[in-house]
Structure 1
């Protein structure tokens, strides 16, 4: 399912956090949002998973205005893994993952056999099956991240929205998570801070600065030394990855402008 942000603007307390943002994520593609802290990335994502209503502009899923969908329907269509999506109560891992099925259930309806198998399969895929009966408050930050992603995936959405999903993950699980996104077949909008991981994992990138879209396109087209210097304030060399050809940035610790 296509995702479109059409002239999205968010104004809070007189401050424009997002300004006229227009982006399209085609069905089954991964688009990464990158940019400095405070550039509006997370705010834009909140509009997509309906935690925030835009001041103007439209979020479309397929050809439908997201705000006109019943909440249950939008929850079945869009799943989110957020920075502040932690669990404050010591539910077990399998209980938290099963919460992803909530938009598909009525009242206290129990999970079907297919749904229990789906939860188990996704926990195994994210290397947390052995933690199924552990309380989430006993887990490391990286383990909790994988639990929250499993919860989003068992929702069986068509669109997946993720805000810094690689936080707290070791390099193996970062690569595994991003490989999963690339092979999921879902339409994915993801905020990433690591530009090299973004270049490897995303079909397209959108670069935000001070709430505005300053560049969009393939990683090869977007990640130029000029743009990285202008937007992020560092000097970088861009070289092709020796195995994949993806652009990779090399920084100097003395390169900050």
Structure 2
């Protein structure tokens, strides 16, 4: 895998049908670190990610990969650098699992070029790490939601990106596979930008967290600096007690079902 790349969102703004979904977003995801985006529904998290994997063009601002402007790269060049696991990654075509995973190599191939021995081993290893190797010959349409999510994660890893963006990657996954996937993200050593709804998962896995509300960055920093009772009340509208995890010391949130005080 190539050296990880610094990802920088510089004054990012997205406007759709006259409505500002994201405005003035500046955030850096550092090489070898996991940067999380959290916030209420509709706060602009997924919209920001779509600008990074070029599903959306920002209205204002710039996405930088090190000193390269993302929009100046060809689609093939950017696909070699940025891989995405999105919430819209489904397929209506019943490819086998091994065929879907192999699609991750597409940006690196020309025409109908066959996979090399190294690339086939890369696919095999990714399937093993995501616990889908035993499903290699199965059609993806026969899989459960969690199995399919792990297949798509394997495809993203096979792409060998320098930047990996993930939108709710733990959706549909049981707790074992959530932990395994997030641990694997740490081991890749690449630059990771991930959207998570679960604040406790974000606190456990992320080196840095950006909190969005109304399309604006409220704050960014280490989990223990950001995830305070005051911020959770202000941004999410719920009361929470923050306690240190007994093993790791990471902040863990205990919510009051009674709502905000």
Q: Normalized against structure 1, the TM-score is what?
A: 0.99
> Partners in 2 of 1:238 and 1:180 — Cα distance?
27
2:80 is aligned, of 55, 76, 82, to 76
- Deviations along 1:61-91, one digit per CA (max 9) or x if unpaired, are 0110000011111000000000001111110
> Partners in 2 of 1:124 and 1:181 — Cα distance?
15
SS in 2 for 1:53: coil
* Runs of 4+ in structure 1 over 2 Å off: none
Q: Which runs of 5+ in 2 are unaligned?
A: none
| 1:114 and 2:118 are equivalent in the alignment | yes
| 1:4 and 2:8 are equivalent in the alignment | yes
> Partners in 2 of 1:183 and 1:229 — Cα distance?
33
Determine if contact 1:17/1:43 at 8 Å carries over to the other structure.
yes
Shift of 1:256: 4.7
Shift of 1:105: 0.5
| 1:29 and 2:37 are equivalent in the alignment | no
Determine if contact 1:182/1:202 at 8 Å carries over to the other structure.
no
Task: Report what 1:245 is aligned to.
Answer: 249
> Partners in 2 of 1:252 and 1:234 — Cα distance?
7
SS in 2 for 1:234: coil
> Partners in 1 of 2:181 and 2:233 — Cα distance?
28
> Partners in 1 of 2:34 and 2:26 — Cα distance?
16
2:42 is aligned, of 30, 38, 43, to 38
> Partners in 1 of 2:29 and 2:129 — Cα distance?
25
**Aligned Cα root-mean-square deviation (Å):** 0.7
Determine if contact 1:162/1:189 at 8 Å carries over to the other structure.
yes
> Partners in 2 of 1:55 and 1:77 — Cα distance?
22
